[in-house]
Amino acid sequence: MHTLDDFRYTRWIRNLNLCLQILLSFTLVIGLNYLGFKEYYRKDLTQTHNFSLNPETLAYLRQIQKPVHIIITLQKNANSDVAKKYYNDIGAILREYQYATHKNGENQFTIEYVNVFQQHNRAEELAKLYNVRGDTAILVICGEKYREILGVDLYDAKTSHFKGEQAFTSAILDVTANEKKKIYCIQGHGELNPDSSDPIQGFSAAMMILQHKNIAVEGLDLAKSVNVPDDANLLIVASPQVPFLKQEEEKLRRYLSERNGRLLVFLAVEKEHGLDDLFYDWAIRADNVTIFDDSSDYISSSGDFIIKRCEKHPITQSLIDLQIQLLMGFSRPVKVDRGAGFDEQRKVVPLLYTSESSWSQKMTKAKGNKEKIVRGGQSIAVCAERNAVSQLGIKIAGGRLIVFGNADFVTNSRLGVLGNSFLFQNAVNWCLDCDNLLNIPPRPTHNYQLSLTRKDFMWLSINILIVPCAVAMVGLLIMILRKSN
Amino acid sequence: MKHFFPLLRNELRLLVFSPSTYIAAVLFLGFMGFLYLFILQQFALEPRESLPSIDFMRVFWLPVLFMVPLLTMKSFAEEKRVGTLESLMTTPINALELTFAKFFASYVFYMVIWLSCFLLAVAAYITLPSNSVNAKLLDFASWIGGYSFVALSGLLYIAIGILTSSLSKSQLISGMLCFCLLFTLIIGERIIMEIPWGDGIITSTLEKLQAFDQLEDFCHGIVDSRPLVLYATSALFTLGITASIVDSRI
């Protein structure tokens, strides 16, 4: 008998044929899913499109050409409900970002969840590369640029609004921008040293924060340079000990007015700053007097002043929301100059106030006498901005200036205390337009609670029971009909 | 496939006239009613961020693990045990038609009893006083999304039940096998994800297969085409294998 006619061989060939069919079908399934996962479609069925990205975000994302990588060390199975909520909210919004950025089957937006408790090597790598530790880090990375998103960036104080879209879009725009933002620290007047780790004379900790935000920091001597460099996004004047020269002041004035520049000034007490004319232009007055306070509610055990009163502004909003106080040494009053000429394009807002029990007085060094001049709450920080008008008549952001009547809150010894670091970061963000660059509204996080009385619950149980009972009745009816037939 | 519809009609007629169908439906709805009542009670005790419909859909795996094996274990195993499958296959009906007919009959029943659960929400909505919070009991986006997921995942789960039923003459073995496979697919994946696989293809593949993650999106009213492709192709593949097994074992 021919081998192929043998039943054993026929069965063997049949089984082989079956296996091949299954194998080919399996590869087909894999292939279809590969394509299906590359080119996919999502639709938000909610009436108010609760989970869709804002058109502004979508417009920004369409312009992104570089791949963005997100690293999250939050844990899915975290013990705390807050961490789980963070994880779920972030996961949901990042899936929308992934969908919005996938082009031609390629995901420009990759997400990596790192379990720092299990993936020790990766955790060490992250600590080394990005200086992040712990299980709460969220990093947005593009090439060598990166930005860390903090918990405070994601929710408001009462966690009633999720600001994740704003935070992520802002971070993505930041890291994908071709130019790195640059801040110059003015030098030559005995200012705080940005490279020094000295607790009193250095503010390297503040510079470290800026570097984490992917901002380059350099020193600048105005007396030596012809003009403020073109790439300067912000100038910082931190505690000048001697007055600025007139020509230096003029350079700053031109930078602010003609180039829509940004200037952040931290004034030292009892020192002439030489910027009076510049401040007058911006309706700010910083007299050379010192503020004192004798209220125990506003003096810390170390003798520092506790600042609790903030005016509502993007710079102080997080302090108000989180009810965080500030700790500062002696300050000088910085006020809105009512005597400055009216300018409709200029907007000046006081930011921080001392307590009602405080007073300011001029220190007359020669005699050592203290002359009381003003009593009551004093403004110690003021921000001013001008709207520039484009050729088309559209108002665009112009120059911005913030003057603090205190410089020691940014020094290494005080930056980490209470809300000082928040204030510094918010001031820098405001100056660099990082706060209102996006007009993305935060999403409300709803809470639902039913009000059930005992009677309601009883009726609810009965009505819910009706559903299976109705099915049982239908079944019974069919059985009876069948038997009767 | 000309015999498919008569076969399906016959399978559905058997289901409609079978007392066990109603017993299963009553038990299922009773159990789901209890779960829904429990969820509503939790919402009365403390404020929660999700909706009752979302919490209700989140426990979809619990009835699936028990209902699908009970619903499908009889399909081929019983026919094999009593010997009717051989006689059926001597007719012009082919294995694929038969498999699809049994699959769709079970699937229709599966969906009908799941859809009946919406009546629980309607009952609660009618009972409770009308206000903005109670109106959310019938939040259509979450119900439609949740049901879309149940319908999609049901394709694969029922197909697995039909496959396991074709593997054995014993309904018990088929049922247990189905339970184990579904458990691995739904819960096991989650456990496997706990293993640090690194940032490779295994992790990304496992992440894409996570039923709970897909459910989260659907429950919140976001419909995604990826689970549609995944469950539809996997169900077709599983049914294809089932048809081959039925064909080869006769």
Burial of B46 from C-beta contacts in 10 A (0-12 / 13-18 / 19+) = exposed
Query: CA–CA separation, A234 vs A309, rounded Å?
Result: 27
Q: Which residues of A touch B118 (CB under 8 A)?
A: none
Among the partner-chain residues B17, B25, B124, the one whose CB lies closest to the CB of A464 is B124
Q: Which residues of B touch A123 (CB under 8 A)?
A: none
Check pLDDT > 70 for residue A105.
no
Q: What is the mean predicted confidence (pLDDT) over A68-88?
A: 81
Q: Taking CB atoms and an 8 Å limit, are A42 and B144 in contact across chains?
A: no
pLDDT of residue B237: 95
Check pLDDT > 90 for residue A174.
no
In chain B, pLDDT over 90 holds for what percent of residues? 44
Contact residues, A window 116-155, toward B, CB-based 8 Å cutoff: 118-119, 122
CATH entry, A182-431, from 3.30.2250, 3.30.1560, 1.10.3470, 3.40.50? 3.40.50
CB B68 within 8 A of CB B182: yes
Q: What is the pLDDT of residues A262-292, one digit of tens each?
A: 999 999 988 888 999 999 999 999 988 888 8
Q: Which residue of B has its CA nearest to A25?
A: B237
Q: Nearest Cα to A281, choosing from A304, A297, A299, A258?
A: A258
Q: What is the mean predicted confidence (pLDDT) over A164-182?
A: 84
pLDDT of residue B140: 86
pLDDT of residue A297: 80
Q: Which residues of B touch A46 (CB under 8 A)?
A: 141, 220-221
Among the partner-chain residues B23, B48, B124, the one whose CB lies closest to the CB of A448 is B48
Q: Taking CB atoms and an 8 Å limit, are B233 and A29 in contact across chains?
A: yes
Q: Taking CB atoms and an 8 Å limit, are A45 and B240 in contact across chains?
A: no
Check pLDDT > 60 for residue B157.
yes
Helix B95-116 to helix B19-45 angle (10° resolution) is 40
Q: Is the Cα torsion angle B245, B248, B249, B250 positive or negative in sign?
A: positive
Q: Which residues of A touch B233 (CB under 8 A)?
A: 28-29, 32-33, 36
Among the partner-chain residues A77, A91, A463, the one whose CB lies closest to the CB of B123 is A463
Check pLDDT > 80 for residue A434.
no
Among the partner-chain residues A26, A45, A478, the one whose CB lies closest to the CB of B141 is A45
Specify the range with the lowest mean pLDDT, choosing from A214-223, A361-370, B187-196.
A361-370
pLDDT of residue B128: 85
Q: What is the mean predicted confidence (pLDDT) over A57-65?
A: 82
**Of all helices (H) and strands (E), which one includes residue A253?**
helix A246-258
Q: Which residues of A touch B120 (CB under 8 A)?
A: 464, 467
pLDDT of residue B239: 94
Q: Across all residues in chain A, what is the average pLDDT?
A: 84
Check pLDDT > 70 for residue A395.
no
Label the pairing between strands A262-266 and A395-404: parallel
pLDDT level of residue A45 (50, 70, 90 thresholds): confident
Among the partner-chain residues B49, B145, B196, the one whose CB lies closest to the CB of A118 is B196
Q: Is A481's Cβ below 8 Å from some Cβ in B?
A: no
Looking at the domain that runs over A55-176, which CATH code has it been given? 3.40.30.10
Q: What is the mean predicted confidence (pLDDT) over B3-10?
A: 88
More confident residue, B132 or A45: A45
Q: What is the pLDDT of residues B68-92, one digit of tens each?
A: 999 999 888 888 888 888 888 888 8
**Domain range list for chain A:** 7-38, 55-176, 182-431
Q: Which residues of B touch A474 (CB under 8 A)?
A: 22
Query: CA–CA separation, B243 vs B94, rounded Å?
Result: 9
Check pLDDT > 70 for residue A368.
no
Q: Nearest Cα to B77, choosing from B158, B9, B154, B175?
A: B175
Q: Which residue of A has its CA nearest to B117?
A: A467
More confident residue, B15 or B231: B231
Specify the range with the lowest mean pLDDT, choosing from A244-248, A295-299, B49-53.
A295-299
CA B27 to chain centre: 16
Contact residues, A window 22-61, toward B, CB-based 8 Å cutoff: 22, 25-26, 28-29, 32-33, 35-37, 40-47, 50-51
Output the DSSP codes for A15-73: HHHHHHHHHHHHHHHHHHHHHHHHS--EEE-STT-TTSPPHHHHHHHHH--S-EEEEE-
Alpha-carbon separation of residue B208 from A135, B79, B190, B202, B231 (angstroms)? 23, 37, 11, 10, 12
Among the partner-chain residues B19, B127, B221, the one whose CB lies closest to the CB of A479 is B19
Check pLDDT > 60 for residue A167.
yes
CA A394 to chain centre: 27
Q: What is the mean predicted confidence (pLDDT) over A125-145?
A: 84
Check pLDDT > 70 for residue A439.
no
Which residue of A448, A458, A473 to mutate against B (max B Cβ within 10 Å)? A448
Q: Which residues of B touch A37 (CB under 8 A)?
A: 208, 226, 229-230
Q: Taking CB atoms and an 8 Å limit, are B196 and A467 in contact across chains?
A: no
Q: Which residue of A has its CA nearest to B244?
A: A18
Check pLDDT > 60 for residue A232.
yes
Alpha-carbon separation of residue A59 from A41, B15, B200 (angstroms)? 18, 53, 31
Which residue of A450, A452, A456 to mutate against B (max B Cβ within 10 Å)? A450
Residue B213 backbone phi and psi in degrees, to 5? -65, -40
The CA-CA-CA angle for residues A415, A417, A418, to 5°, reads 120
Q: Taking CB atoms and an 8 Å limit, are A36 and B229 in contact across chains?
A: yes
The identity of residue B179, as a single letter, is F
A55-176 and A182-431: same fold?
no
Q: What is the mean predicted confidence (pLDDT) over A417-436?
A: 81
Which residue of A109, A122, A464 to mutate against B (max B Cβ within 10 Å)? A464
Q: Which residues of A touch B37 (CB under 8 A)?
A: 460-461, 464
Q: Which residue of B has its CA nearest to A99?
A: B224
Alpha-carbon separation of residue A405 from A307, A331, A359, B125 (angstroms)? 12, 5, 14, 60
pLDDT of residue A449: 82
Check pLDDT > 60 for residue A366.
no
